[in-house]
Structure 1
């Protein structure tokens, strides 16, 4: 079979024709040939999203060229919510749902929540959507991420700021934050080259690069956290299992009482730091 001719000759078929079984398998073959591991699932998503054959053709081409499916679609599913994700913006990972679940379990109604390094604002948006009347503030240094986060965070009544970590937050939050979540980058600079191409090429480096040992941003987050947290307030960060003990030391050196929680099923590790009352 001449794969390219079969897949790319959309001009001779309607969208209805293209969404038939033969065309479904053709899309699957195209995606699988491009290296998509979950080609059948992705083909179903693309077919369900496209409204015309031209739109479908463009989406298949983008995905086959390597653009992450979430960037092709313009959204990612995270904790049951559809989160807008613009091209270049960090895609929320499935394992990070564990961090959100840990934070949600310890967040009270009316809490002040800050989402640092928010990216698309996925973490804070889920907390705001699932809990009663929290006051949500989200921050990112990347202007592209901030624009994307506005769409998600303001939809749940939150506020978004552009700047470096705590710098753009309102001074009125000093010493009043109950929950601080920071999915800060924790990939060591020298190992970014080992990441899947979807991350290396299509996500902002600032959302991935954690410095020489991967923990530079965590150090900065933890160092200032006690000045922003309320007594008994909590800082949540995601890290790797290998880095967890270093993160614990960072938290302790900043005056926080650390605790490590782990989910083997998701390969997710979270360190929680408590500001001592």
Structure 2
């Protein structure tokens, strides 16, 4: 005889029903309420209150973008270019997962994070007690002005789903995560282009901008960074299905 909880989750379309059942039980509280939220389509991470990311438990609040495991590749690419005592900015930070992973690996980093969503800023502040600041505002304009020209690395998992493709996303993302955290404009790269235009004023000479995108967007994203004056390159991780476009600001 099967486990009724597992059967209920499987009937709701949860592929990893056994694993999810165990996490829901472990979460404590009113199990029926938690299960009802999950069956109704709310992301598991929002229901249990955390997501696994780069070996960390990242707190996830309802209505905040859930960090994707593919973004661990973005963390790895950033770590490969970080100098000692680097000043790093995590833009479109959401929960702050990327910044938290960078701090965990490199405690010497001076981390700033930014997001335009007040719920995300609140969540990130809880996940980033070691950050120099979590700022609310539009991309790099959220930062303190005295950081201009002093940043070593800007890292960003921007929204990069094309507007017309948002409606085809899974309901748990489409209905429970902020639209602004998903919709990247006509070809998905509107935010990447704006960030590429802003970043040179904030980066030190030789500093890096790293952005995540879909594999099919890599060429256009690389062109956007090159057009903003960066020496741009593409890195790919097939196992995670992750693509990162990086740009290095020229030295004088």
TM-score of the aligned structures, taking structure 2 as reference length:
0.97
Structure 2 residue matching 1:94: 3-state secondary structure: coil
Q: Does residue 207 of structure 1 match 2:181? A: yes
Q: Does residue 144 of structure 1 match 2:119? A: yes
The Cα of 1:82 is off from its aligned counterpart by 0.7
Cα RMSD (Å) of the superposition? 1.1
Does the 8 Å CA contact 1:109/1:132 hold for their aligned counterparts? no
The Cα of 1:182 is off from its aligned counterpart by 1.1
Q: 1:77 aligns with which of 41, 44, 52?
A: 52
Does the 8 Å CA contact 1:259/1:271 hold for their aligned counterparts? yes
Does the 8 Å CA contact 2:51/2:57 hold for their aligned counterparts? yes
Structure 2 residue matching 1:166: 3-state secondary structure: helix
The Cα of 1:130 is off from its aligned counterpart by 1.2
Aligned length in residues: 251
- Summarize deviations over 1:192-232 as a string: whole Å, max 9, x none: 01111110000000000001111100000000111111111
Q: 1:102 aligns with which of 68, 77, 83?
A: 77
Q: Does residue 159 of structure 1 match 2:133? A: yes
Q: Does residue 185 of structure 1 match 2:152? A: no
Higher helix proportion:
1
* Bigger relative contact order, structure 1 or 2 (CA pairs below 8 A, ≥6 apart): 2
Does the 8 Å CA contact 1:70/1:91 hold for their aligned counterparts? yes
Partner of 1:220: 194
Partner of 1:253: 227
* Segments ≥4 residues shifted beyond 2 Å: none
- Summarize deviations over 1:105-135 as a string: whole Å, max 9, x none: 2212310000111111110111012103211
Q: 1:58 aligns with which of 33, 37, 46?
A: 33
Structure 2, unpaired ranges of 5+: none
Does the 8 Å CA contact 2:112/2:131 hold for their aligned counterparts? no
- Summarize deviations over 1:58-103 as a string: whole Å, max 9, x none: 1111111111100001111110111111111000001111111111
Cα distance in 2 for residues equivalent to 1:76 and 1:186: 21
Cα distance in 2 for residues equivalent to 1:233 and 1:211: 27
Cα distance in 1 for residues equivalent to 2:78 and 2:226: 19
Cα distance in 2 for residues equivalent to 1:49 and 1:134: 32
Structure 1 residue matching 2:135: 3-state secondary structure: strand
More displaced 10-residue stretch of structure 1: 102-111 or 239-248? 102-111
Structure 1, unpaired ranges of 5+: 1-21
Q: Does residue 41 of structure 1 match 2:2? A: no
Cα distance in 2 for residues equivalent to 1:237 and 1:187: 14
Cα distance in 2 for residues equivalent to 1:167 and 1:246: 24
The Cα of 1:276 is off from its aligned counterpart by 0.9
Structure 1 residue matching 2:186: 3-state secondary structure: coil
Partner of 1:236: 210
Q: Does residue 197 of structure 1 match 2:182? A: no
Partner of 1:127: 102
Does the 8 Å CA contact 1:181/1:236 hold for their aligned counterparts? yes
Q: Rg: which structure is higher? A: 1
